[in-house]
Amino acid sequence: MKATLVWAILAAIGAVLVVGLGLYNVSARQGHLPGVSWVLHTAYKNAVWLRAPSEEEVPDLTPPSLVDLGQGHYENACAFCHAMPGQSRAETALSMLPAPPHITEAVADWEPRHMFWIVKNGVKMSGMPAWPSQRRDDDVWAVVAFLTAVKRGERHGEAQTELPAGGDLAGETGSLPLAPAAAVYRDQCLSCHGRDGFAGGNVFIPRLDTLPAAYVAASLQAYRSGARQSGIMQQAASQLSDPQIAALAAYIANQSRDRLAEHEVGNLDPELVSRGDVLAHGGDEKANIPSCVSCHGPASSPRSDHFPPLAGQSEVFLRDQLMLWKSGRRGGTDRALMMHEAIPDLTKADMLALAQYYASLPPSR
Ligand code: HEC
Ligand code: HEC
Ligand code: HEC
């Protein structure tokens, strides 16, 4: 008994000395004590295996548009630490402890469901960050789709969108104050949203070329504050200043409308489209579904600049947004309340029909 007590007191004094006097060296330049790395890494692997979602929960990760979206986010948020395929890691990232594995190694030992868990939750005390939005999983899967494509050797890291030759974006509007916004757009938005705000048919990325400046600015603020959740857009908007948001919104709304005619409808079901048409015009027996067109068009009378036009957005994007509204996971600007009132009585079938109807309409402002 006595001996145990003495040992316990000695251990406690030792711990106080190490922690309280700063004797434990936290320097990232010194590796862990022998065995510690093994313990940490084994604990990490087992924790991922235990908690990852099941095989059935993994969505289809093959659509190239989903992989493109994931790659766009990866370049913004992950490549600094893990590098692009075929590229070396940054020297500063290599000086971390543990050093982030190169992407090709990072994906080697894991299945998609494990990667999902790691990207969503991050890894404590390692520098691997958690996903910024905990309310949504769909955008995490986009990144997993990219990681899976890398694992299969299908993506080698070349940029998906060709950047326009230097400077000509800035000149396009012919107005000098917009030039800095053009540069921000080119460096931080173009790879996903495309040259004129049209993402070249990527159904997961909304077109911006139909949106009014006031809605773009309010949406960017909502992403920046986290009121509207999207791990991808929260990252893209997080470091924009107020003046940059205002300038970007003006820049986007003043873009050339050359690509407004480009509109890939995909396979729509005519019956659903006409059911959506009726619903959108408020022609349903369900009294609690308001007329969508009064706020979203198409209508001949001018609408508020705070209501996004839906015509010409992809069916996938519209459907996903409606599902998010319905499940209470879509926040937004201070006008989001209007949608929270419009949505509760819509069924899944109604939402599909409405998404198909608006996707069938030619893009317009
Ligand atoms: C600040 C640096 C940093 C950033 C940014 C970062 N990671 Fe990591 N990541 C790490 C580190 C460090 C580890 C190793 C964790 C460990 O082994 O304990 C890691 C681990 C991983 C792993 C598991 C690798 C393995 O071998 O077990 C994957 C997959 C991964 N990261 C993907 C991503 C993705 C996708 C992003 C962007 C959304 C990202 N990481 C952003 C540092 C980073
Ligand atoms: C990695 C790809 C990616 C990048 C980079 C990106 N976006 Fe987005 N953007 C998206 C996706 C995906 C959405 C849909 C997010 C959602 O579900 O809320 C979106 C949504 C938006 C919306 C809301 C549109 C709507 O109809 O509600 C605006 C505005 C926007 N982005 C502007 C920008 C601007 C400005 C930049 C550059 C600072 C930018 N985005 C960078 C992918 C991206
Ligand atoms: C009273 C006006 C109002 C009515 C009625 C209304 N909406 Fe909305 N809707 C809005 C506003 C405002 C937003 C933008 C909210 C935000 O992001 O802050 C919005 C956003 C949306 C979005 C997301 C668009 C995007 O680009 O992100 C969809 C999809 C949508 N509404 C569909 C519908 C449908 C379908 C109906 C009819 C059942 C409907 N809305 C009825 C005002 C309305």
Q: Which of 260, 292, 325 is the last residue of a domain?
A: 260
Q: Is 282 in the pocket of ligand 3 (CB under 6 A)?
A: no
Establish if 199 belongs to a structural domain: yes
Q: Is 352 in the pocket of ligand 2 (CB under 6 A)?
A: no
Query: pLDDT at position 164, please?
Result: 43
Whether 73 and 117 map to the same domain: the answer is yes
Whether 200 and 118 map to the same domain: the answer is no
Closest CA to 189 of 227, 133, 239, 261: 239
What sections of 212-253 are H helices per DSSP?
213-225, 231-237, 242-253
Establish if 32 belongs to a structural domain: no
- Which of 81, 121, 150 has most ligand 1 atoms within 8 Å of its beta carbon, as the pocket-test mutant? 81
- Measured in degrees and rounded to the nearest 5, phi and psi for residue 333 equal -80, -175
DSSP 203: T
C-alpha–C-alpha distance, residues 7 and 286, integer Å: 75
Q: Is 77 in the pocket of ligand 1 (CB under 6 A)?
A: yes
| Largest separation between any pair of C-alpha atoms in the chain | 90
Query: Region 278-286: what's the mean pLDDT?
Result: 80
Query: pLDDT at position 341, please?
Result: 86
Closest C-alpha to ligand 2, atom 31: 233
Give the distance (Å) from ligand 1 centre to CA of residue 182. 32
Give the distance (Å) from ligand 2 centre to CA of residue 247. 16
Establish if 14 belongs to a structural domain: no
Number of domains the chain contains: 3
C-alpha–C-alpha distance, residues 345 and 342, integer Å: 8
Residue 174 confidence (pLDDT) above 90:
no
Reported as a single tens digit per residue, the pLDDT across 143-171 is 999 999 999 999 887 655 544 433 444 44
- Chain centre to alpha carbon of residue 180: 24
Tell me the average pLDDT of the chain.
89
Which residues, at least 6 apart from 7, have a Cβ–Cβ distance to it below 8 Å? Answer: none
Q: Which CATH number is 242's domain given? A: 1.10.760.10
Which residues, at least 6 apart from 291, have a Cβ–Cβ distance to it below 8 Å? Answer: 280, 281, 282
Q: Among 140-154, 158-172, 201-215, 266-280, which stretch is predicted with the lowest mean pLDDT?
A: 158-172
Whether 89 and 133 map to the same domain: the answer is yes
Establish if 161 belongs to a structural domain: no
The helix (run of H) or strand (run of E) holding residue 45 is helix 36-51
> CA 33 → CA 10, 23, 29, 37, distances in Å?
21, 14, 12, 8
Which residues face 128 on adjacent strands? 123
Query: pLDDT at position 162, please?
Result: 47
Residue-number span of the structural domain to which 72 is assigned: 57-151
Establish if 211 belongs to a structural domain: yes
Q: Which of 236, 260, 284 is the last residue of a domain?
A: 260
C-alpha–C-alpha distance, residues 49 and 231, integer Å: 24
- Which of 211, 289, 339, 356 has most ligand 3 atoms within 8 Å of its beta carbon, as the pocket-test mutant? 339
Closest CA to 350 of 281, 275, 285, 282: 275
Query: pLDDT at position 163, please?
Result: 45
Reported as a single tens digit per residue, the pLDDT across 323-357 is 999 999 999 998 998 898 888 889 999 999 999 99
Give the distance (Å) from ligand 1 centre to CA of residue 103. 8
Residue pair 225/286 in contact by the 8 Å Cβ criterion: no
Q: Which of 121, 151, 181 is the last residue of a domain?
A: 151
Whether 129 and 177 map to the same domain: the answer is no
Give the distance (Å) from ligand 2 centre to CA of residue 206. 7
First-residue to last-residue Cα distance in the chain: 82
Query: pLDDT at position 176, please?
Result: 53
Query: pLDDT at position 85, please?
Result: 93
Whether 210 and 283 map to the same domain: the answer is no
Establish if 181 belongs to a structural domain: yes
Q: Is 310 in the pocket of ligand 3 (CB under 6 A)?
A: yes
Residue 238 confidence (pLDDT) above 90:
yes
Instruction: Check: pTM over 0.95? Answer yes or no.
Output: no
